Amino acid sequence: MSHHVRSLTTRAYSTQPLSESFVAKPEIRHAGIVDVRFGKNVTVVQPVNLYGCAIGDDSFVGPFVEIQKGVSIGKRCRIQSHSFICELVTIGDECFISHGAMFINDLFATGRPTKESQFWRATKVGNQVSVGTNSTILPVTICDQVVIGAGAVVTKDITIPGIYAGNPARLLRRL
């Protein structure tokens, strides 16, 4: 009985020679800190992409965070790693934005993502609000003293202090 061993080889195939495949040069942009108004005793862990925003006294911004122009972060806030806070967001004092939280300002009113800011909507987060890991916050208003559970999707204004979770986020109990 003979045993045949086949050797496996991985090859990449292209319809064009490698030299012809990559002729265009990309636009290179660098993450960094540009035109940011910092309060006293702010801590920022690099790398971050912060531009045209304001961050209040005694706040903390973790690594891999993007905070876009026009955003206002209050005093004594913590913005944890991998969070994205887009234009038109205002966050109050003593807020906690957990890892991977995403804020959205474009509701695809045109049926697609748009660069036209007249279609974007604002988000206002009150004081003492905690936003859980991997939550998504659409353009809404959130009152003071709210906890948003991990993975929640906030699609409507929150007007009652309490704990909210789910998709869409719903009140679990009042605080």
Which residue ranges make up each domain of the chain? Answer: 31-174
Global confidence as pTM: 0.84
For the chain, percent of residues with pLDDT exceeding 90: 77
Q: Are 113 and 104 in contact (CB under 8 A)?
A: no
Query: Quick check: 3 pLDDT over 50?
Result: no
User: Three-class SS of residue 19?
Assistant: helix
- Token representation of residue 155: 């699609």
Beta carbons within 8 Å of 35's beta carbon, 6+ residues apart? 51, 52, 69
Interval 134-143 mean pLDDT: 98
Strands 96-97 and 43-44, sheet pairing: unpaired
Q: Are 158 and 141 in contact (CB under 8 A)?
A: yes
Question: How high is the pLDDT of residue 97?
Answer: 98
Question: How high is the pLDDT of residue 15?
Answer: 57
pLDDT tens digits, 56-73: 999 999 999 999 999 999
Query: Quick check: 10 pLDDT over 60?
Result: no
Nearest Cα residue to 154 out of 173, 128, 136, 172:
136
- CATH 2.60.40.10 correct for 31-174: no
pLDDT tens digits, 65-122: 999 999 999 999 999 999 999 999 999 999 999 999 999 999 998 899 988 889 999 9
Q: Which of 37-41, 49-53, 67-71, 104-108 has the lowest mean pLDDT?
A: 104-108
- Count, residues in the chain: 175
Query: Quick check: 11 pLDDT over 70?
Result: no
